Structure 1
Amino acid sequence: MPVTGLPGITDDYFYFLMFNSSLISTSCGTSGVRNFGKIFMPCFYSVIFLSGLLGNSLVVVIYIYYEKLKTVTNIYMMNLAIADLLFLCTLPFWAVDAHSQWIFGTFMCKLVSGAYTVNLYSCMLILTCVSINRYKAIVQATKSLNNGKKIFHSKLICVGIWVFAIILALPQFILSEAYSDTPDKTICTMVYPLNFSSIIKGGVHVTQLLVGFLIPFVAMTICYSVIAKTLLQDKGFQKHKSLKIIIAVVVVFVICELPFNIVLLVEILQIFSEEIPSCEYIANTDYAIIVTESIAYLHCCLNPILYVFLGVKFRNSFLKVLKDAGCISQKQLAEHLKTECGTSRPVSGISETTSLHPL
């Protein structure tokens, strides 16, 4: 068998390593990256996990016991919170992996990697649906379907999203393995087969870039731009607050998701260049992925605030939770609800809650 020019590395093994670059990090002496990740990732993941778990759990409780999933928006927000919660539940596994090594075996590696990807895709696709739903409710003001049919259609869409996300995550379910990169360390990684390695790995990365960023970003940009234009032409009292929230939604999405997807794009270009990465490239890429991916995870914590907590109806339901828990009195709740009713003026027939959380 021909030799690549690297001592002891055959052509087949060379190409195997080229498309499984995570397996050659040890030979490059990337102990600095591992030491950084060993401290940074468990700490950062713990904060994201605890804060995201609190916010999204509260959303689920309120929608089940107080809002009762009576609107299309409630259906989408409930599914978004569930996707975020399931996504967050994978973080403790990755924190342990970063701190020491993967101790959970190949089955759990496949399950956790697949679940991570399913909920990443479902979350982004639900955000896309939320943007389109707001556009239709505010700009088009569609009333062709009654609320019951709208809710039924939204449930079908959510089921379709989950099924589609599972299909897209099949490579993670199939190819993820607990791999011993050194005698005393095991990692959970995707191990690509020798044949068609570039096609499979490139396809996985391109899919993540498209579904995990470009599609929701384009949908949000178009829909919220038209919504903002519509609100600017309105003379309602609440339009400025609505515009601020819309801008916050887009800005937070870009800040959280864009850095990681730039790194992902660089990775895609390197894969299709069919050149084995240098040790310096691998180290720099590892640092970039650790930091930018952690920033992207912050989105799970911010989704409840941006999409739910800022709505008037949800705030009122949250206060009811506090009242039932004995944190505030019935009198305080009544005074707040009276204040909300007195200050919430509609925007051309569309209330603040509807404009941000339409049916």
Structure 2
Amino acid sequence: MTAAGDLQNLLSALLIWTWFKSCLSEEAENTTAYYDNETVSSDFYDDMPVLCVKQSNRNFQRWFIPIFYSIICLLGLAGNLLVILTVFYFKRLRNMTDVYLLNLSFADLLFALSLPFWAANSLSQWVLGLALCKAMHAIYKISFYSSMFLLSFISIDRYFAISKAVSAHRYRSQAVLFSKVSSAVIWVMALVFSIPEIVYTNINNGSCSPFSSNTDTLRVSLQASQIVLAFLLPLLVMSVCYSSIIRTLCQARSFERNKAIKVILAVVVVFLASQVPYNVVLFLTTVVTGNGGTINCDYDNNLLYATDVTQCVAFLRCCLNPFVYAFIGVKFRHDLLKLLKDNGCMSQEMFYRCTFRRRSSAGLDTETTTTISPKLLITSPKDT
């Protein structure tokens, strides 16, 4: 019985081992068949998504953005402070453009003051708290929208002052009041349009940003709204107004005409050169975000480089506006020189030397940019 029991136990163990081995063999065959059907091997790993490395762009941002933001900030502070001091020192709020220029200088000044914080944000993690993060973004966005709207209103004012000089002359007494009210409305509109981004601004991955990783739909909506409100709308208004102004000036028989046309062209060229590249890149970025991103890492990195460069070019407007819209006017330049002389920044001899060279161009004594004497337009017959 013992020998028979041992033999039975041995046969049972062999049967169990045979069954277990056959199961292992079948599992291995199924596994091989599964991977063969899915074309694994090297092709499987080739199809796996590859992480897009953006370290080179971060290194570029660490030196490019602080340098250019600092330059723009210093130039913007200097130019806009000179405009503000000149306006208040000589009490130059005598027409609509003076009021709009003062508000434009305040908007650009606030914009320039926010740039050092953005430069610090690109260098390291944001450590100043959520409240200051939202405040910085609010100042940046409100000043951005208000400056774009003010540029549109300046072009509208120049349109009525030149193309509609006769009718505009009748309402000259109410013009300053209207400009003050419209400026207040512009600031309110800028605040309203900035509210969505201010609300969603947060500290994401150590950086102060208006967008988080799960708000692609919101990001597309806000960027599309910015393109329409802060670029296409001002571009449309400026195109209509300045094209009409140029047609009017071409019909005027005055030696001021060529200078005024050059000023208008300078205004348009500066706006287009600074705003078009950035908004084109912003549009492409919005399209990529709306499509759920891109698998082309090179294209994604190139968009980041283009955004950094074109954004800095667009930000140059805050330091160019004082020269294009204010200092190009002869009277404004004269007031600026007198301000420098009265405060000891310029000698009496230098002041008379600079002003003497401009006395020969007294006929071009414009209040502000693109302004031409309404009398010349009223009395000058149109070419037929």
TM-score, structure 2 length as denominator? 0.78
Q: How does 1:210-289 map to 2 (within 5 A)?
A: 210-275=228-293, 278-289=296-307
Whether 1:356 and 2:373 are equivalent positions in the alignment is: no
Could you tell me which of 192, 210, 213 is aligned with 1:167?
192
Partners of 1:310 and 1:144 in 2: how far apart?
23
Q: Against the structure 1 CA distance between its residues 277 and 124, is the aligned structure 2 distance closer, same or farther, given a 3 Å change threshold? A: farther
Count of residues in Structure 1 that have an aligned counterpart in Structure 2: 322
Q: Against the structure 1 CA distance between its residues 263 and 99, is the aligned structure 2 distance closer, same or farther, given a 3 Å change threshold? A: same
Could you tell me which of 176, 182, 188 is aligned with 2:208?
188
1:145 is displaced (CA, Å) by 5.0
SS of 1:70's equivalent?
coil
1:330 is displaced (CA, Å) by 5.0
Residue 323 (structure 1) aligns with = 341
Q: Looking at both structures, which has the greater relative contact order when contacts are Cα pairs under 8 Å and sequence separation is at least 6?
A: 1
Gaps of 5+ in 2: 1-50, 375-384
- Superposed CA RMSD: 2.2
Contact 2:162 2:371 in 1 (8 A): no
Q: Against the structure 1 CA distance between its residues 29 and 332, is the aligned structure 2 distance closer, same or farther, given a 3 Å change threshold? A: closer
Partners of 2:260 and 2:160 in 1: how far apart?
16
Contact 1:131 1:223 in 2 (8 A): yes
Could you tell me which of 202, 222, 227 is aligned with 1:209?
227
SS of 1:89's equivalent?
helix
Residue 7 (structure 1) aligns with = none
Partners of 2:267 and 2:352 in 1: how far apart?
30
Could you tell me which of 99, 112, 116 is aligned with 1:92?
116
1:355 is displaced (CA, Å) by 6.7
Contact 2:331 2:368 in 1 (8 A): no
Residue 37 (structure 1) aligns with = 61
Partners of 1:204 and 1:177 in 2: how far apart?
15
Structure with the higher fraction of residues in helix conformation: 2
Structure of higher CA gyration radius: 2
Partners of 1:47 and 1:287 in 2: how far apart?
19
Q: Against the structure 1 CA distance between its residues 298 and 275, is the aligned structure 2 distance closer, same or farther, given a 3 Å change threshold? A: closer
Work out the percentage of aligned pairs sharing the same amino acid.
Answer: 36
| Residue type at the aligned position of 1:136 | F
Partners of 1:147 and 1:99 in 2: how far apart?
51
User: How big is each residue's C-alpha offset from its partner over 1:213-248, in whole Å with a ceiling of 9 and x where there is no partner?
Assistant: 111111111211111121122221121121111111
User: How big is each residue's C-alpha offset from its partner over 1:181-219, in whole Å with a ceiling of 9 and x where there is no partner?
Assistant: xxxxx111123585xx45422221111101221111111
Q: Against the structure 1 CA distance between its residues 110 and 276, is the aligned structure 2 distance closer, same or farther, given a 3 Å change threshold? A: farther
Whether 1:124 and 2:148 are equivalent positions in the alignment is: yes
User: How big is each residue's C-alpha offset from its partner over 1:240-276, in whole Å with a ceiling of 9 and x where there is no partner?
Assistant: 1211111111111111111110011112222333456
Range with greater deviation from structure 2 (139-148 or 68-77): 139-148
Partners of 1:77 and 1:150 in 2: how far apart?
14
| Residue type at the aligned position of 2:199 | I
Could you tell me which of 68, 72, 76 is aligned with 2:96?
72
Contact 1:242 1:352 in 2 (8 A): no
SS of 1:178's equivalent?
strand
1:339 is displaced (CA, Å) by 5.5
Whether 1:152 and 2:177 are equivalent positions in the alignment is: yes
SS of 1:28's equivalent?
coil
Residue 4 (structure 2) aligns with = none
Contact 1:90 1:116 in 2 (8 A): yes
Residue 305 (structure 1) aligns with = 323
Q: Against the structure 1 CA distance between its residues 277 and 172, is the aligned structure 2 distance closer, same or farther, given a 3 Å change threshold? A: farther
1:342 is displaced (CA, Å) by 4.2
Partners of 1:329 and 1:280 in 2: how far apart?
57
TM-score, structure 1 length as denominator? 0.83
Partners of 2:292 and 2:273 in 1: how far apart?
31
Contact 2:108 2:318 in 1 (8 A): yes
